[in-house]
Amino acid sequence: MAFMSMTIKFSDSIRLDFDYLLIGNSRLHWAIRKDNSYKFFHTFFNQRFPKNINLKKLVWASVGKYPISKLSNNNEININNLTMKEMPDHIGIDRVLACLAAHKIIENKLKKNILIVDLGTTVSITKIDNQGNLIGGQLLPGFTTQLKSMDENTKNLTFPKNTFIPSKNFQTVTSKAMLKGVYNSIFGAIKLSFNKNQDILIICGGDAKFLGEKIKKEIKNIIIEPNLVMYGMIFSRN
């Protein structure tokens, strides 16, 4: 029913007044108050809202296509609500929230740029400077999106039954070749974008744990925080 969930602790300065919902492209992402912390979890569009949600205190943002009629317009987070610098108004709210969270939680004594890689339906690669100003970014299809595209648009390629990252670069089994090729396309984009002397790399999003652990073996000292965007939502109200 739900995917990965985790509970985190916040400092006393964080107000625990609201629940949060991010409407993604393929799932709903939640941060629900529990004691003195938040529980993060994810549900599908066709599932019911979690029990005991107070819609009047549900803060939300949306990047996906989902009915929002029962959500309060006054509780929507948009780019005009945020204080991030040099952010164009057309950039996705999830990317802005990830930038906000990364800028707040990463200890950046060397004043490096921060490279934020969101591994979701789309892979967004966004770079900000040490002041939180947007430098720019890249977008490419996500891991599952690439596999689905091959399944839907080619005659002899089908979505793999099991998803994992093969160790060898060159494969003789078609499904393994698809998996390795898709991984390499995402990893290659990250590697070309990341300069270890100038950047701090943080990985977030639905595939952050699945792909991040593999990436971490090849790029050292990276940060993996799947729920970075949800942190951004919480920080936006504090």
Question: Would you call 212 helix, strand, or coil by DSSP?
Answer: helix
Is the pLDDT confidence value at 237 over 80? Answer: yes
Per-residue tokens: 123 = 């892979």
- Domains of the chain: residue spans and CATH: 6-79 (no CATH), 84-236 (3.30.420.40)
pLDDT tens-digit readout, 46-101: 998 988 888 888 999 999 889 888 899 999 998 888 877 778 888 999 999 999 99
Element (H, E) at 62: strand 58-62
CB-based contacts of 80-83 (< 8 A; 24+ apart in sequence): 81/236, 82/236
The pTM of the full predicted model, rounded to 2 decimals, is: 0.91
Q: Which residues contact 131 (CB under 8 A, 6 or more apart)?
A: 85
Q: Which residues contact 96 (CB under 8 A, 6 or more apart)?
A: 79, 82, 84, 87, 232
